Amino acid sequence: MLRSAERVTAAFVRAINRQDVEQMAALMSPGHRFIDSLGQTVKGRDAVRTVWAGYFHMVPDYSIVVEETVCDGPVVVLLGAAKGTYVPEGWLKAENQWETPAAFRASIKDGKVAEWRVYADNEPMRERMRARV
């Protein structure tokens, strides 16, 4: 049986993989913090919802592949990969697909994701972005 923190984290990943910003927001605490792989932080559920919506516009098929889960109380660490397709012109093109190893850290408080942190090398997507400039 999955522990509560693992269940919440798994639900959050499912929402990410469906690009369901509203479900993601429902799983976030009001003071949710998102920290990207460069250490940039966005605070507050509404601000993070806006950031995710913009990201899904740019990478509409973004998804996380979880290969391993480690849970220590309210902290869940996911190891695997992130992948998607950069869509600068509004349509998916195979040459704009990318995938990179990634880790994610979720801190759960009162049944909500209080913090979501991404550890990934975003160079594969940056390459696609540079090619379109």
Domains in the chain with CATH codes: 4-131 (3.10.450.50)
Looking at residue 88, its pLDDT comes to 80
Kindly write down the DSSP assignment for every residue of 111-126, as one continuous string: TEEEEEEEEE--HHHH
- Per-residue confidence band for 85, with pLDDT thresholds at 50, 70 and 90: very high
Instruction: For residues 44-56, give the mean pLDDT.
Output: 97
Looking at residue 124, its pLDDT comes to 64
- Per-residue confidence band for 125, with pLDDT thresholds at 50, 70 and 90: low
SS3 of 71-104: EECCEEEEEEEEEEECCCCCCCCHHHEEEEEEEE
Looking at residue 133, its pLDDT comes to 46
Looking at residue 30, its pLDDT comes to 97
Total-model pTM: 0.90
Instruction: For residues 17-43, give the mean pLDDT.
Output: 97
In sequence order, what are the residues at sequence separation of 6 or more whose Cβ sits closer than 8 angstroms to the Cβ of residue 24? 12, 15, 16, 49, 52
Looking at residue 84, its pLDDT comes to 94
- By percentage, how much of the chain surpasses pLDDT 70? 91
